[in-house]
């Protein structure tokens, strides 16, 4: 999702190694189509500051509400992450967690995305583990990483609430951060983790959550 490249860019720019796992064959999630098949992305203030920082054109359509072209904004986010040194593993699906003493999150278990769609008779492919100092759940409302902790009765996940854009955007940025030792949550996964309202097709908080997540991660990595 779009907060992943931004968060990755901010961390990689400080010389840290970043790998983003993407289950699709393309990066960026629904950012390309504005979340609503319209190729425009809406950003509420102060999210436009990040667009300006990255050199992404936008215009103000009403007070505090800005619009940009989805393909331009998304490709710019991805390219800026690549230029900062972020690496990507697309067509790679998250399957499970690597846990250590006292359920400390220590990595992710991944496999090839096509494995899920092929018959079992020809897909006897074991997943592999990747260890990391910090794992970040940026998987959107699925919150697939956090859900794995819930499956093991480590934490409770209430799921996201009904839509309330203005409140949700503020709360998502506020709650961005560490949810469990070794695990952080950013973007829409935050609403699922903490039972916050859903946002809908708006992207300001997604960008700001990624930026805040990077700041918190860098503090953890010191």
Mean pLDDT of 168-179: 97
CA–CA gap between residue 179 and residue 155 (Å, rounded)? 9
pLDDT at 100: 97
Total residue length of the chain: 222
Mean of the per-residue pLDDT values of the chain: 95
Confidence of residue 122 (pLDDT cuts 50, 70, 90): confident
**pLDDT, greater one: 120 or 96:** 96
pLDDT at 161: 97
Confidence of residue 130 (pLDDT cuts 50, 70, 90): very high
pLDDT at 124 over 90: no
CA–CA gap between residue 163 and residue 170 (Å, rounded)? 13
Superfamily classification of domain 3-220? FAD/NAD(P)-binding domain (3.50.50.60)
Mean pLDDT of 24-44: 92
Q: Where are the domains of the chain?
A: 3-220
Confidence of residue 83 (pLDDT cuts 50, 70, 90): very high
pLDDT at 1: 55
pLDDT at 2 over 90: no
pLDDT at 106 over 80: yes
Closest CA to 94 of 23, 153, 181, 157: 23
Rounded (5°) CA angle 91-172-26: 15
Mean pLDDT of 28-54: 93
pLDDT at 3 over 60: yes
**pLDDT, greater one: 176 or 29:** 176
Mean pLDDT of 155-159: 97
Element spanning 27, H or E: none
Per-residue pLDDT tens digits for 180-202: 999 999 999 999 999 999 998 89
In the chain the first and final C-alpha atoms are separated, in Å, by 26
CA–CA gap between residue 169 and residue 201 (Å, rounded)? 11
Q: What CA–CA distances, in Å, run from 9 to 12, 62, 77, 90?
A: 5, 30, 9, 17
Mean pLDDT of 206-216: 97
pTM of the model: 0.94
pLDDT at 179 over 60: yes
Task: Find out whether 218 and 176 touch, Cβ atoms under 8 Å.
Answer: no
């Amino acid at each position: 999702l779009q907060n992943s490249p931004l968060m990755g860019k901010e961390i990689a720019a400080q010389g840290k190694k970043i790998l983003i796992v993407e289950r699709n064959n393309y990066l960026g999630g629904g950012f390309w189509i504005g979340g609503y098949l319209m190729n425009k992305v809406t950003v509420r203030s102060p999210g436009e500051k990040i667009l300006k920082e990255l050199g992404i054109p936008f215009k103000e359509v009403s007070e505090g509400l800005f619009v940009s072209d989805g393909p331009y904004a998304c490709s710019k986010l991805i390219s800026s992450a690549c230029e900062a040194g972020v690496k990507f593993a697309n067509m790679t699906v998250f399957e499970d967690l690597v846990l250590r003493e006292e359920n400390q999150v220590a990595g992710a278990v991944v496999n090839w995305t096509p494995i899920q769609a092929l018959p079992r008779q020809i897909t006897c492919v074991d997943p592999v583990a990747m260890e990391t100092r910090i794992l970040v759940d940026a998987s959107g409302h699925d919150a697939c990483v956090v859900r794995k902790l819930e499956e093991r009765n480590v934490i409770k996940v209430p799921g996201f609430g009904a839509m309330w854009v203005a409140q949700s955007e503020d709360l998502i940025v506020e709650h961005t951060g560490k949810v469990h030792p070794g695990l952080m949550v950013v973007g829409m996964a935050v609403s699922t983790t903490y039972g916050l309202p859903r946002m809908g097709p708006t992207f300001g908080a997604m960008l700001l959550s990624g930026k805040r997540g990077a700041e918190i991660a860098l503090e953890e990595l010191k």
